[in-house]
Structure 1
Amino acid sequence: MNIVLASASPSRRSILNSAGVEPVIHPADVDEDALIAGLREAEPDEVVAALAEAKARKVAPDHPDDIVIGCDSMLLLDGELQGKPRTAAATVERWRRQRGRTAELITGHCVVGPGGACRVTVSRTSVVFADVSDADIEAYAATGEPWQCAGAFTLEALGGWFIDRIEGDPSNVIGLSLPVVRRAIYELGHDVSGFWNLTARPVAR
């Protein structure tokens, strides 16, 4: 039995790698924009949960004997969900709005086990953004790093310079909450240690 990650996100893969797991990578082909458009009246948690579930269920039939994990993250600021900025201009606009403020990074998780048993959970972590200078915002946007990231930032790379603190699960901010996934795997009747590949685990320095 393997853990299958229904995502091409290098950050999510890195979280699992650091936790001793070498997942099978099978990105889900889901029209996120269309799904979000159909959930205009839904609560923020319902939106990210629906996206995560759509991804996991899309991939699960191809891996009937494995554990499939689908995730989706969005930033909640002023009651509005923010997805990926996708361009430098959108990144600059986002950061000018969110700098010096606190928002919530919401990640939906869907874990599907053998036989189709499914657990869907949403995790929230508060993010306190630094009062970043205009020059640094523009330089960060120009790198392209935040274009495909919920909330237009990363915690574990260049964006870490611009986050003053977080309140809650740090792995959730990176895109996959290990505590949430652990609980789901337990509920599906398995132990996380059964998925460890310690020879592939990065060595701490």
Structure 2
Amino acid sequence: MISTVLGSASPARLRVLRDAGLDPTVLVSDVDEDAIIDELGDASPETVVTTLARAKADAVVSSILAGSDPAFASAAADGVVLTCDSMLLLDGELSGKPHSPEVAVAQWRRMRGNVGHLMTGHCITRLRNGAVESVVADHQSTAVRFSDISDELIERYVATGEPLKVAGAFTLDGLGGWLLDGIDGDPSSVIGISLPLTRRLLARVDVNVADLWR
């Protein structure tokens, strides 16, 4: 039985995987995303999100292989580690979680009536016999069409707290879904993890996704 580890604190990613038949164990990475972004300088958006996903994978895999938590012994013996990072590309600029109401309001005023691209980097690490067997990474981009909403609605949405802790200051599967006119591409990627891309990456490390179904 291949063990699955999700290296993310995102409840949305965990929900997507559980709804799709997986039951991953969660191990949250502890990486300084801002420092990594600063080091990347003028790197492309695709490179930024993929590098962040790889950095999270490195941290999670190191913890698993260190053997400090026996709960992950099965993953070290025969497992896959899934890590992701999402950012919104709008008018040539990348943005992650706004964290503060002021940033979220300003971001929504830029987004409304506009089209952005939710970029999600993915990394899959195949573990076997206590070592890394293979690592693959890629990204998914999905166009998001934001509604031209009023200042009042922006402020009421931000006041809920939801947009403060999600990439791009919006959700597709929560309150933010009311404020979108539509998407063009993969909905699971906008929520946090692309099922089609994950399936393809698993195949590249010789894992059939059906073998991970509970």
TM superposition score category, shorter chain reference:
over 0.9
Give the equivalent residue in structure 2 for 1:19: 20
Asked if residue 183 in structure 1 is aligned to residue 213 in structure 2, the reply is no
- Aligned counterparts, 1:28-177, within 5 A: 28-61=29-62, 62=64, 63-64=75-76, 65-114=78-127, 115-177=132-194
Identity of aligned residues (%): 49
Give the whole-Å Cα distance in 1 for the aligned partners of 2:166 and 2:44.
21
Task: Tell me by how many angstroms 1:98 deviates.
Answer: 0.7
Secondary structure of 1:116's aligned partner = strand
* Letter aligned with residue 125 of structure 1: T
Task: After superposing the two structures, state which structure 1 stretch, 94-103 or 184-193, moved more.
Answer: 184-193
Give the TM-score of the pair, scaled to structure 1.
Answer: 0.94
Q: Deviations over 1:2-44 (max 9, x none)?
A: 1111101000001001101111100100000110111112111
Give the whole-Å Cα distance in 2 for the aligned partners of 1:173 and 1:98.
15
Q: Deviations over 1:27-77 (max 9, x none)?
A: 100000110111112111100010000001211231433100110000001
- Which ranges in structure 1 are unaligned for 5 or more consecutive residues? 198-205
Task: After superposing the two structures, state which structure 1 stretch, 188-197 or 68-77, moved more.
Answer: 188-197
- Which ranges in structure 2 are unaligned for 5 or more consecutive residues? 65-74
Give the whole-Å Cα distance in 2 for the aligned partners of 1:124 and 1:175.
11
Give the whole-Å Cα distance in 2 for the aligned partners of 1:185 and 1:4.
13
Task: Tell me by how many angstroms 1:91 deviates.
Answer: 0.8
* Letter aligned with residue 103 of structure 1: G
Runs of 4+ in 1 over 4 A off after TM superposition: none
Q: Deviations over 1:65-110 (max 9, x none)?
A: 3100110000001101011100111111100111000010000000
Task: Tell me by how many angstroms 1:116 deviates.
Answer: 3.5
Give the equivalent residue in structure 2 for 1:8: 9
Give the whole-Å Cα distance in 2 for the aligned partners of 1:46 and 1:173.
18
* Letter aligned with residue 164 of structure 2: W
Secondary structure of 1:117's aligned partner = strand
Give the whole-Å Cα distance in 2 for the aligned partners of 1:136 and 1:121.
35
User: C-alpha root-mean-square deviation of aligned residues, in Å?
Assistant: 0.9
Task: Tell me by how many angstroms 1:186 deviates.
Answer: 1.1
Q: Deviations over 1:148-169 (max 9, x none)?
A: 1111000000000001010000
The number of equivalent residue pairs is 197
Give the equivalent residue in structure 2 for 1:200: none
